[in-house]
Structure 1
Amino acid sequence: MNILLLTSEFAPAMGGIGTYAREIAAAASRLGARVTVVAPDYAQHTDDDDRSLPFEVVRFRGGLHSMRDLPRKIMLARRGVRGDRYDVVHAADWPFFIPLALSRWRTPARVLMTVHGTEINETQTTLKRMAIRGAGVFGPRTEVVANSRFTETLFRERFAVDPRRISAINLGVSEFWFGGRRTRREVRLAHRLPEDRLVMITVARITRRKGHHLTLAALSRLPDELRRRITWLVVGPDGEADYVGDLRRAAGEAECDIRFLGSQSNEEIRDLYAAADFFCLTGTPDTTGRVEGFGLVYLEAGAAGLPSVATDVGGVADAVLADETGVLVPPSVESISPAIAELAADRGLRAILAAGASAHARALSWERCAATTYGLAYAGKRASANHAMGKTA
């Protein structure tokens, strides 16, 4: 099978869509497909990194998407589909939906478009809906792939598309997150975390919709004795400056050990998971229309053996199975605080949910995701660790 994957986000930029494009391309390659990825260059030299991947990467001049880039993407799609005989042409994110729709008459290939959640709401303006209709984006030949049941439902509510052309295919988790890492003792020593500390970790950009303020308020409600036993590790880059400032000030006044560790590499995050007892990310509904389409980070934590405290927003319920892989509660302080208390105080419960989280993550491989998306043969086996994250042996 010959696959052309068009994406407006890719390494070295960080983000969920870039991860999706890289991982599904690598998994399809491991399953025997020939994959070509078209991605922006971010004004950087990426030749060495691109050559290490098990698929071809064709870079175009550009960065994160703006509407000014649309004419260039239309030309890229036209040249791309014409340049080779593809079996599948796949737009990994919405900036390539219109370019691919305007080019599909040039190729007999299957036409796939993946929706991730937020962009479904963002395309509801009058101008964008007119452009989508005018280009026939979701016309008869287009197959839509949603990254969760929630995203599928949201798409159906917003667009009148034949349900038979819409599929919900959960994302995968890389073998990297199951792989070797430093021991719990080594990491705890490095971060001065005593063995008797209960370590809760959050990995997410510090932005309002990720709900760090809810977690902090929930911690403040815990009984004094339990709260003082907990260390909260906050990993991720800063988002809105005013929100980050307020959160840091509130954390400084809280009677709890809270450590802001900033951005960390995947290897460092994997080590921190080894030192932690459970994961916590309490997203909240966002009035701007941004949504949590799935929640891949919960699976990555689960692969490292961590149960989660999570809020039931967006597609999180597909990533965190209630009372099987974690505790899933409404996005309110009144619900989050007892959930943290329950998981922190009950080692047996943490062990049961950790086993479930690991099994759930193990079942959701990228090979499964690629095979289901593209119709590739799949024996149900994961890639070996030395092929994780797109690396070659």
Structure 2
Amino acid sequence: MRILMLTSEFAPVRGGIGTYAREVARAASALGADIEVIAPDYGRDNTVEDRRLPFEVRRFAGGLHSMRDLPSKIRLARRSMASGQYDVVHAADWPFFIPVALSQHLTDGRIFMSVHGTEINETQTLLKRLAIKCTGVFGLRTEIIANSRYTGELFRERFAVEAQRVHAIPLGVSEFWFGERKDRAATRAAYGIPPERIVMVTVARITRRKGHPATLAALSDLSRELRNHLTWLVIGPDGEADYVRELRSLAGSISCDMRFMGALPDHEIRDIYGAADFFCLTGVHDPSGRVEGFGLVYLEAGAGRLPSVATSIGGVPDAVLAGRSGLLVQSSIDDIARAITKLAENADLRSALGAGALAHARELSWARCAARTYGLQPAARPSHRIPDHVPPAIQPREPASAIKAYSASSP
């Protein structure tokens, strides 16, 4: 099978779409497909890094997408699609939707377009919807690949496309996250964390929709004894400057060992997963229209046998199986606080859900994702049964917190 993938985001830039494009291409190649990826060069020579990949990467001059880049992308898609006989032409993200649609007459191959969540809402302006309609982006030849059931349903709500042309295919986890990590005790010692402490870790850009204040407010609701026994490691680059300042100010108002670690390389994050007790990311609904289409980071933590505390928004329920790989709760401070308490106080529960998180991460491989996307023969792999353990229901209780009031009124 010959596959042409066009993406506006790729290494060396780090991001969800870039990860998706690289890992699907890598997995498709391992399953026997002949795949070419067309990606921006970001104004640098990427030859050395690209040669390490098991597929061909053709770079074009450019960086992160801007609407002024659309004419050049249209010309690029036309040249690329006319240059070879492809079984599949895959627009891995929305900036290549119109370019591929305008050139689909140049190929007999199947036309795939991947949707990731937020861009579905961002294309609802009158001008963008008109452009999509006039160029036949979601015409009868187009098959939609959604990264979760939620994203697929959101797409169908916004566009009149038949259900049989929308395929919800959850993302996968790179084998890297299952790899060797430093000894738990050594990692804790390196960060000055005593062995008896419960370590909760969050990995996400510090931005509003990731919900750090909700977690912080929940921590303020814990008993003083438990809060003094817990360390919260917050890993990720800063987002909106005003939001980061507010969060840091709030963090100083409660008695808790909360550490802002900044952006860390993946190998250090993998080591920290091995030294932590559970993962926590409590995303909130974003009025701007940005959504959590899936939640790959929960699976990466699961590969380190970490169960998750997560809020049931967007596509997260595909990444965190409620009661099997983590505790999935509503976006309320009470529910988050109770879930954190359950995992912090119950080692047996952490172990059972951690085993389920590992099994779920193993099941959702990139090989499975590529096989389902392109109709390739999946590689044989051992079955990893996910435990059927379901923790007791979380009962409501009365909260009281100054931080809770801030969280409830924050966007």
Tell me whether the two structures share a fold, i.e. TM-score over 0.5: yes
Q: Identity percentage over the alignment?
A: 65
Q: CA deviation at 1:253?
A: 2.1
Q: CA deviation at 1:319?
A: 0.3
Q: Which amino acid in 1 is paired with 2:113?
A: M
1:233 and 1:375 mapped to 2: Cα distance?
A: 41
Q: Which amino acid in 2 is paired with 1:98?
A: I
1:146-165 equivalence runs, <5 A: 146-165=146-165
1:162 and 1:253 mapped to 2: Cα distance?
A: 52
Q: Which amino acid in 1 is paired with 2:129?
A: R
Deviations 1:255-276 (A, max 9, x none): 0001111001111110110110
1:228 and 1:17 mapped to 2: Cα distance?
A: 39
Question: Does the CA contact (< 8 Å) of 1:368 and 1:380 recur in 2?
Answer: no
Q: CA deviation at 1:380?
A: 3.3
1:103 and 1:72 mapped to 2: Cα distance?
A: 13
Partner residue in 1 for 2:51:
51
Q: Which amino acid in 2 is paired with 1:220?
A: S
| 2:259 is equivalent to residue 252 of structure 1 | no
2:329 and 2:189 mapped to 1: Cα distance?
A: 33
Partner residue in 2 for 1:281:
281
SS in 2 for 1:13: coil
Partner residue in 1 for 2:39:
39
Deviations 1:206-234 (A, max 9, x none): 00100001001100110000000000000
Question: Does the CA contact (< 8 Å) of 2:367 and 2:379 recur in 1?
Answer: no
Unaligned 5+ runs, structure 1? 383-393
Q: CA deviation at 1:59?
A: 0.6
2:281 and 2:380 mapped to 1: Cα distance?
A: 30
Q: CA deviation at 1:190?
A: 0.5
Q: Which amino acid in 2 is paired with 1:169?
A: I
Partner residue in 2 for 1:373:
373
Question: Does the CA contact (< 8 Å) of 2:235 and 2:261 recur in 1?
Answer: yes
Length-normalised TM-score, structure 1:
0.96
1:352 and 1:222 mapped to 2: Cα distance?
A: 23
Partner residue in 2 for 1:303:
303
Partner residue in 2 for 1:96:
96
2:29 and 2:277 mapped to 1: Cα distance?
A: 35
Give the CA RMSD over aligned residues.
0.8
2:18 and 2:360 mapped to 1: Cα distance?
A: 23
Q: Which amino acid in 1 is paired with 2:221?
A: R
1:1-393 equivalence runs, <5 A: 1-381=1-381
2:264 and 2:22 mapped to 1: Cα distance?
A: 19
2:178 and 2:104 mapped to 1: Cα distance?
A: 39
2:72 and 2:230 mapped to 1: Cα distance?
A: 51
Q: CA deviation at 1:379?
A: 3.0
1:380 and 1:150 mapped to 2: Cα distance?
A: 28
Q: Which amino acid in 2 is paired with 1:180?
A: E
Q: Which amino acid in 2 is paired with 1:134?
A: C
Deviations 1:125-160 (A, max 9, x none): 000000000000000100001000000100010000
Q: Which amino acid in 1 is paired with 2:69?
A: D
2:70 and 2:24 mapped to 1: Cα distance?
A: 24
Question: Does the CA contact (< 8 Å) of 2:308 and 2:327 recur in 1?
Answer: yes
Question: Does the CA contact (< 8 Å) of 2:201 and 2:279 recur in 1?
Answer: yes
1:259 and 1:380 mapped to 2: Cα distance?
A: 42
Deviations 1:299-343 (A, max 9, x none): 000011000000000000000000000000011112111110111
Unaligned 5+ runs, structure 2? 383-411
Extract structure 1 runs of 4+ deviating beyond 2 A: 379-382
2:187 and 2:302 mapped to 1: Cα distance?
A: 18
Deviations 1:338-385 (A, max 9, x none): 110111010000000000000000000100000000011113338xxx
1:67 and 1:139 mapped to 2: Cα distance?
A: 22
Question: Does the CA contact (< 8 Å) of 1:209 and 1:285 recur in 2?
Answer: yes
Q: CA deviation at 1:44?
A: 1.5
Question: Does the CA contact (< 8 Å) of 1:187 and 1:275 recur in 2?
Answer: yes
SS in 1 for 2:103: helix
Question: Does the CA contact (< 8 Å) of 1:6 and 1:92 recur in 2?
Answer: yes
Q: Which amino acid in 2 is paired with 1:379?
A: A
Deviations 1:181-225 (A, max 9, x none): 101011001001111010000000000100001001100110000
Deviations 1:84-109 (A, max 9, x none): 11111000000000000000000001
Partner residue in 2 for 1:389:
none
Q: CA deviation at 1:162?
A: 1.2
Q: Which amino acid in 2 is paired with 1:79?
A: R
Q: Which amino acid in 1 is paired with 2:65?
A: H
SS in 1 for 2:13: coil
SS in 2 for 1:253: coil
Question: Does the CA contact (< 8 Å) of 2:205 and 2:238 recur in 1?
Answer: yes
Partner residue in 1 for 2:409:
none
1:254 and 1:60 mapped to 2: Cα distance?
A: 50
SS in 1 for 2:176: helix
SS in 2 for 1:234: strand
1:132 and 1:204 mapped to 2: Cα distance?
A: 32
SS in 1 for 2:90: strand
